[in-house]
Amino acid sequence: MTEKSNTNIVVALQARTNSSRLPGKVLLPIAGLPLVVLAAKRAESPSWSVLTLTSIEQTDNYLCEVLKQYNQNYFRGSLNNVLERYVDSLSGLDDSTIVVRLTADNVFPDSSFINDLVKQFKQKNVGYMCADNKHSLLPYGFSAEVTRLVHLREAFLKANSQYDLEHVTPYIKRLHGIEYYSPPVSYDYSKLNCTVDTLADYLHVAEAFSGITNPITIDGYKLINKIKPNGVGVSKLSLGCAQLGLNYGVANSQGKPSLAKAHDILSAAANFSCSYFDTARAYGDSEQVIGEWLKNNKFNKVKIITKLDTLSSLTPDSSAAKVESAVKNSIEMSLSSLGVNKIDVLMLHRARHLYEFEGLIFSNLLDLKKQSLISELGVSVQSPSELLKVVDNPLISHIQLPFNILDYRWSKAIEAIRAQKLTRKLIIHVRSIFLQGLLLSNDGELWNKAGIKNYNSVINWLAETSQKYGQGTIHKLCLNFVSSQDWVDSLVCGVDDSEQLITTAASLSTKPLTSVSLNQVEAARIDLIRVEALDPSTWKC
């Protein structure tokens, strides 16, 4: 590496090959160039030097050989102490040097973008600035951070947590605050994704660069227009994890999977960018299975939903101390089983727990949220009447409910959901999309257990409807009927193996049903089955 002592701007490109979700991704080709090389070349400018920062681990030896072949400057340092890697790589430069931080899995940032970012950083005379997805309204992956070398050096001397050392800038952000970059475009691109984190992401970005004759020099904002939105349905997919901890589902013939098979399912779900893993204290050892997987997948972006214990040990005359102990014990057990310090979303497994014991259960959860043990709170409901009791609670940001193509009970409740979504954050998760697998079964015995005697008529209607609306299969029809609802944010789907997950993702990647088609399906399904059959708790199992 060659350093210039008079350089006042350095673009540092962070790269490694041991990514847990897509190993070696920085070496995958995009537009004929390795990802890391394309990222470096797009960042180049006569006004600054570009330096790729990688590790001293053997796994990064070949990465360095590739960088040499393309005449790219690089520095090797600590794998886990990334902040030290930054400070050591820039040891010959002045404190006032401006450092722009990029990562090699993001190839959309270009020299014009970097120049504008640095210009705003100088004009505002701040200690730290970033371009991000949420505040700058850029695609996820069209991002960068900028600070001065003096602040990196100070952080290295004073930061004392592994988190700060690994993530480079948290100490600086706490000390100097965060200033956000304002892009020269007014459009909201925040729902687009252009990072490469999974195989699906790589194919998505590779397609965006296809047919471009100038992949190095094309303006980043023009390149944004080449990004295709991810499949509407796929972006809503969440993995239901009840099957990972117990024998679940009336149509489940395979039983609980082995630990290795369960981890394959979790890895496949992460690679398909599932939004959430949905589990619960009541799902056998599902939390422990996920926790074991998380040990080797610490940097995955899937959020974990778990549910409070059913609290069956409590009685109407239980003391406040006993209630508090039961709630706290459930949270501590979840944290321990999952191996995490904070639960992303904690749901009440029973809607009545929101107001039982004069609201003591929920108030204890609010206290634990204040202690940063929980990020967000939610509730799992069983019926429209339960939903209407909780939907207007502003402290609840997630609601999970059972809904499927045959379920005609929810019309009034859906209007209440839509009204709340206009005023606050409210994420709706839908489970039981296949009615515990019943809608995909031709087994008359299973339908009889659900009390549905006219099951042949129901099966025929599902098959005819799938063909009429171009869905091909009942599986695809059921998924896309729910995914196409404008009030649904997350489809909680359990699978028996990774192949089923691939089929589910493929079914959801197609064009959603139109509002006209949805209305026609809803009108045609009336009185197909009696209302009691929509509640699996009433089935004869």
pLDDT one-digit tens code per residue, 257-312: 899 999 999 988 887 778 899 999 999 999 999 999 999 887 677 899 999 999 99
Give per-residue pLDDT as tens, 399-431.
999 999 999 999 889 999 998 887 888 999 999
Q: How confident is the model at residue 29 (pLDDT cuts 50, 70, 90)?
A: very high
How far apart CA 485 and CA 429 sit, in angstroms, is 12
In the predicted model, what is the mean pLDDT of residues 17-29?
Answer: 86
Q: How confident is the model at residue 235 (pLDDT cuts 50, 70, 90)?
A: low
Cα of first residue to Cα of last residue in the chain, in angstroms, is: 69
How far apart CA 352 and CA 65 sit, in angstroms, is 61
Q: What pLDDT is recorded for position 233?
A: 44
State the chain's mean pLDDT as an integer. Answer: 90
How far apart CA 539 and CA 251 sit, in angstroms, is 13
Q: What pLDDT is recorded for position 509?
A: 61
Question: Which residues have a Cβ under 8 Å from the Cβ of 519 and sit 6 or more positions away?
Answer: none
How far apart CA 438 and CA 441 sit, in angstroms, is 5
**Dihedral sign for Cα atoms in the order 53, 56, 58, 62:** positive
In the predicted model, what is the mean pLDDT of residues 208-237?
Answer: 80
Give per-residue pLDDT as tens, 99-108.
999 999 999 9
In the predicted model, what is the mean pLDDT of residues 178-189?
Answer: 88
Q: 260: alpha, beta or left, given left = phi > 0 and alpha = psi -120 to 50?
A: alpha
Q: What pLDDT is recorded for position 291?
A: 95
pLDDT above 90 for 98: yes
How far apart CA 516 and CA 280 sit, in angstroms, is 37
Question: Which residues have a Cβ under 8 Å from the Cβ of 154 and sit 6 or more positions away?
Answer: 171, 172, 175
Q: Is 267 helix (H, G, I), strand (E, B) or coil?
A: helix
Distances (CA, A) of 406 to 303, 478, 513, 517: 29, 9, 16, 15
pLDDT above 90 for 251: no
pLDDT above 90 for 135: no
**Dihedral sign for Cα atoms in the order 382, 383, 386, 387:** positive
In the predicted model, what is the mean pLDDT of residues 515-541?
Answer: 83
Q: What pLDDT is recorded for position 299?
A: 65
Q: Which residues on adjacent β-strands are paired with residue 493? A: 239
- Report the predicted TM-score, pTM, of the whole model to 2 decimal places: 0.61
How far apart CA 200 and CA 206 sit, in angstroms, is 10
Phi and psi for 252 in degrees, rounded to 5?
Answer: -80, 110
Residue 540 · residue 445 · CB < 8 Å: no
Distances (CA, A) of 243 to 148, 207, 284, 326, 495: 50, 35, 9, 25, 7
How far apart CA 29 and CA 432 sit, in angstroms, is 40
41-55, 200-214, 450-464: lowest mean pLDDT where? Answer: 200-214
Give per-residue pLDDT as tens, 302-356.
899 999 999 999 999 999 999 999 999 999 999 999 999 999 999 999 999 999 9
Q: Which residues on adjacent β-strands are paired with residue 305? A: 278, 345
Amino acid at 295: K
Q: How confident is the model at residue 253 (pLDDT cuts 50, 70, 90)?
A: low
Structure-token match 């996920």, residue found: 290
In the predicted model, what is the mean pLDDT of residues 162-167?
Answer: 87
77: number of Cβ within 10 Å: 17
Give per-residue pLDDT as tens, 371-395.
999 999 999 999 999 999 999 999 9
Angle between helices 474-483 and 498-508 (to 10 degrees): 60
In the predicted model, what is the mean pLDDT of residues 175-180?
Answer: 93
Q: What pLDDT is recorded for position 4?
A: 40
Residue 105 · residue 196 · CB < 8 Å: yes
How far apart CA 526 and CA 340 sit, in angstroms, is 45
Residue 526: closest CA among 411, 434, 415: 411
Q: Convert 186-206 to b/e letters by CB count within 10 Å (16 or more is b).
A: eeebbebbbbbbbebbbebbe
pLDDT above 70 for 197: yes
Residue 75 · residue 11 · CB < 8 Å: no
At 393, list the tokens.
């609670």
